[in-house]
Amino acid sequence: MLLTIDVGNSRIKVAVFEHNKQLDFYVFEIEKALKNFQKIFEKHSNLEKIILSSVGKLDVEVLNFIKKSFNTEIINHDSKFPFTNLYTTPKTLGIDRMVLAAGASLLYPNENKLVIDAGTCITYDFVDDKNNYLGGAISPGIKVRYLSLNNYTANLPLLDKKEVDFFIGDSTENAIHSGIINGVCHEIDGFISQYSLKNQDLTIILTGGDADFLAKRLKSTIFANSNFLLESLNLLSLYIHQK
């Protein structure tokens, strides 16, 4: 059994896999990492290996506990990936984006693919049908947009995201909701349209914490999988260690 760990900016996602079948799933705040990993390791004491990717700051004590408990592989820029990285600054490319590109490359090797990760940031990563990673885009995520309106203005309130079925906001709060939610949807649909114009047979994967929230609002046909990074880690581990 393999344990996959995705350390994000504020939360940690964990999944247990037996080959390509997911057996268990956990999500918790970074601050509660040690206690949660202790419980997970007690429940799954027969783990064979752990594979971990991180864009957040995992406490050294927690990382050492993980590494001492089981054979642990930490993905970095020097790991083996199933694509050719044509990013002009390859060492600055986020590990999470590389793992997502790897998962897309392994699942759809002969297709053009665009992975959209809607989390703290919204990232767009394009891999062509020859498995060349070409790059993409980064923009603020939904929560960051709400926070920025509150932080950089004198009078706009901090709101939580909500369902929006209107374009014209009839109050300040509804205007904020419309601007952010509709704005994000138009942005994503716009990027998809641009990529689709230049790349036939484009496969689009939407993932991240806001994937399910956004999926039903987008005009484009997509594969929505909020835990695609964990699945990609599982696929990447199989790829790295294939004989």
Predicted pLDDT at 243:
60
Cβ(50)–Cβ(5) below 8 Å:
yes
Please check whether residue 81 is in contact with residue 98, taking contact to mean a CB–CB distance below 8 angstroms: yes
pLDDT value for 57: 87
CA dist list (Å): 226 to 2, 147, 177: 19, 22, 22
Q: Which residues are catalytic?
A: 96
3-state SS of the chain? CEEEEEECCCEEEEEEEECCEEEEEEEEEHHHHHHHHHHHHHHCCCCCEEEEEECCCCCHHHHHHHHHHCCEEECCCCCCCCCEECCCCHHHCCHHHHHHHHHHHHHCCCCEEEEEEECCEEEEEEECCCCEEEEEEEEECHHHHHHHHHHCCCCCCCCCCCCCCCCCCCCHHHHHHHHHHHHHHHHHHHHHHHHHHHCCCEEEEEECCCHHHHHCCCCCCCEECCCHHHHHHHHHHHHHCCC
Beta-sheet strand order (sheet of 49-54) = 21-29, 11-18, 2-7, 49-54, 72-74
pLDDT value at residue 200: 82
Structure tokens at 48: 């064979």
What burial class does residue 110 get, using C-beta atoms within 10 Å of its C-beta: 0-12 exposed, 13-18 middle, 19+ buried? exposed
Contact 183, 209 (CB under 8 A): no
Domains of the chain: 2-74 (3.30.420.40), 84-234 (3.30.420.40)
pLDDT by position in tens, the chain (length 243): 999 999 988 899 999 999 889 999 999 999 999 999 999 999 999 999 999 999 988 899 999 999 999 999 999 999 999 999 999 999 999 999 999 999 999 999 999 999 999 999 999 999 999 999 999 999 999 999 999 999 999 999 999 999 999 999 999 999 999 999 999 999 999 999 999 999 988 999 999 999 999 998 998 778 899 999 999 999 999 999 886
